């Protein structure tokens, strides 16, 4: 099994993934949410990780799995697709230069939760560069929930949380 031990190896893997997607435009933010079976729809708290800026590898991995290339969009994500994303991202765990919260959340939280709540749904959301959360919120319930999570993260960052 491949292992990416250095930051340069992770960068090379990310660049290779990006080059393999026709029309790829790196999103401004991305995240994977788990919507419990009893929920009426996606909510901001279903997106515990909001990824923006640094370390875009998890986003391009999920993009491969769901077929994303550019724009603001939400995609349903099956358990099989999540397992594939975990397998694709796992070699990065060998690099101790970075933490790996996406991998850990997907593998250690979401997969077990799907075992205990088989009716739960996964959703991957991508926010295009230049799309402010306030301008796209009404387009899709998952996008709206993700945008609210992005906004809450930014407020928390400003408050030092």
Tens digit of pLDDT at every position of the chain (161 positions): 689 999 999 999 999 999 999 999 999 999 999 999 999 999 999 999 999 877 799 999 999 999 999 999 999 999 999 999 999 999 999 999 999 999 999 999 999 999 999 999 999 999 988 766 555 555 789 999 998 999 887 654 433 32
- For residues 70 and 72, what is the distance between their CA atoms, to the nearest angstrom? 7
Q: What are phi and psi of 35, to 5 degrees?
A: -100, 110
Give the domains, in start order, of the chain with CATH numbers. Answer: 7-158 (3.30.70.2010)
At 154 the pLDDT is: 65
| pTM, two decimal places | 0.90
What strands, in cross-sheet order, belong to the sheet with 121-127? 51-52, 29-35, 121-127, 73-77
Q: What is the DSSP letter of 65?
A: H
First to last CA, the chain: 38
At 61 the pLDDT is: 98
Q: What are phi and psi of 101, to 5 degrees?
A: -65, -30
Q: Where are the alpha helices (DSSP H) in 33-78?
A: 57-66
């Amino acid at each position: 099994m491949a292992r990416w031990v250095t930051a340069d190896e992770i960068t090379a893997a990310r660049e290779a993934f990006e080059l393999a997607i026709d029309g790829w435009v790196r999103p401004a933010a991305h995240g994977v949410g788990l919507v419990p079976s009893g929920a009426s729809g996606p909510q901001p708290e279903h997106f515990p990780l909001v990824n923006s800026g640094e370390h875009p590898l998890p986003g391009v991995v999920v993009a491969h799995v769901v077929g994303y290339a550019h724009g603001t969009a939400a995609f349903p994500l099956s358990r099989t697709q999540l397992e594939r994303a975990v397998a694709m991202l796992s070699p990065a765990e060998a690099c101790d230069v970075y933490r790996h919260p996406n991998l850990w959340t997907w593998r250690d939280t979401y997969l077990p939760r799907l075992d205990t709540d088989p009716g739960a749904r996964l959703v991957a959301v991508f926010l295009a560069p230049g799309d402010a959360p306030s301008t796209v919120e009404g387009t899709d319930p998952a996008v709206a929930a993700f945008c609210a999570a992005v906004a809450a993260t930014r407020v928390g960052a400003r408050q030092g949380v």
